[in-house]
Structure 1
Amino acid sequence: MHSDTAPAVRSRTATEGPTPSAPTWDPQQYLRHAGHRTRPFVDLLARIPQLPGPAPRIADLGCGPGNVTVLLADRWADARITGYDLSPEMLQRATQEHAGPTPGGGSLDFRPGDIASWLPEEPYDLIVSNAALQWVPSHPGSFAAWINGLRPGGTFAFQIPGNFQAPSHNLLATLCESPRWRSRLAGHGARYNHLLEPAEYLARLTELGCEVEVWETVYYQMLTGPDPVLDWVKGTALRPVLTALGDDHEAVSAFLLQYRDLLRGAYPPGPRGTVFPFRRIFAIARKEK
């Protein structure tokens, strides 16, 4: 999703604590930082090579609220584009605001879809995923099927966050495992140990016979407003925690206060805002013609 959506939960033993919840998503909260969240997809989009033919067929896996899916129609005006997501909230927002014919003669629609098990139902010219595969522990195992579903010369492209060792995530994981919260939140703050490093993605995609480009970028984002890092993670990494705490407003408030204080120490504000480094990993794999 452009949205860090389409979650899949890894299996856990009884001693590890409760299984992390599938997050409930808040499109409005996610879109509060739409500018920063969109930039990596724009950078990915700029490096996707020419697609095999006119009126390309495109799948967007984890489309979220659709705000970046529409950028595909700007690049390929006559494309038939389908965005897939598990979140009803995100799909409703995407459909209401973006579905329908596109100015260049193409179309844009959105469908429920779990990218942990999604398979191409027809040949695609482009399969793309923006900030979604981190929720799917099994995603490298899907690469072969997705690339097999491309037309010759088609492209599979994705970008994922690579900041899971950053203070924002380490502090969240530590707090979830603390004595006060362990019984309710164990495992909810550390869900990303399945992600590969760039060299591993390069090797796997090259082994599938593709022409591959992989890179990483650290965006130094200037966030503004009160507790801006907390506001940022409320739209993404905090969603499983907030979902697990549910309607227990007292617990939600107590957890957020503790986490807020930790983030304030890790990301002190400056005179013009708070610097928030964010590492992203990118990959583009072009199928042989």
Structure 2
Amino acid sequence: MFKLIALDMDGTLLKGDNTISQETKKAIKLAKEKGIKIVITTGRPIQGVMNYLEDLDLINDDEYVITYNGSSIYNTKTLKPIVRSGLTGKDFKDIYKLSKSLGVEFHGFIDECCIAPKENKYTDAEIQHNNIDVKIIDIENDINDNDFIIKAMILDEKEKLDQAVKKIPKEYFEKYNALRTVSFIFEFMNKNCSKSNALKALCKHLDISQTEVIAFGDGENDIDMLQFAELGVAMGNASNYVQSKADYVTLSNEENGIADVIYKKILNI
């Protein structure tokens, strides 16, 4: 019997208009009533998740959310992290220098806000999409080597970022968990940071077995989580590659794919 459902957000829980369908809300509510823990597991910052947690009635002393692709696990009521991992300020400055050599945009996250060397359409999107403040700083002078940075990212148009990623030296892939999360974002995180590692830590905290976990996702950054879960479910809108790594492929995020699996695999409706 499943005791925990891990849900990616963008492209999975959310439709293209950034809303949760009524059918998905209904299915999640029914799963909660059976005592199943619902855990949003996202690349977004905590500020970009709160409205959805409230919408799903997931703000409570015993509810948790995984953010920043596994960098942080927060209690949804206290907003205190129970687990977190990140980069050092020295790492951050090094990745910033890399971004300049590649000619792409750059920003990162600390607990309070997004930090960037300049404003651009991507920092504007953080404000609008994730409801997070953006602070423009002199990265080389304002960041200390031992500062805690949640994650760094390089950003640009898909074709430009495609070429930039090809030029990233292999040592960056060895030192960091470095991956493409969406077409215009490539992220650098602590080597131990992943959705699966965060989910594993949360399961230990909740005394839930790996065999009692079902996970839903659509992106390459979800693959490790899908493979960790007893049942890893790829959305119908996921790429063929992501679908090939899952145990089961459901309908798309526009077709209530999460609800369909909850009804069939959990509620037996």
Computing the radius of gyration from Cα coordinates, the structure with the larger value is 1
TM-score using structure 2 length: 0.32
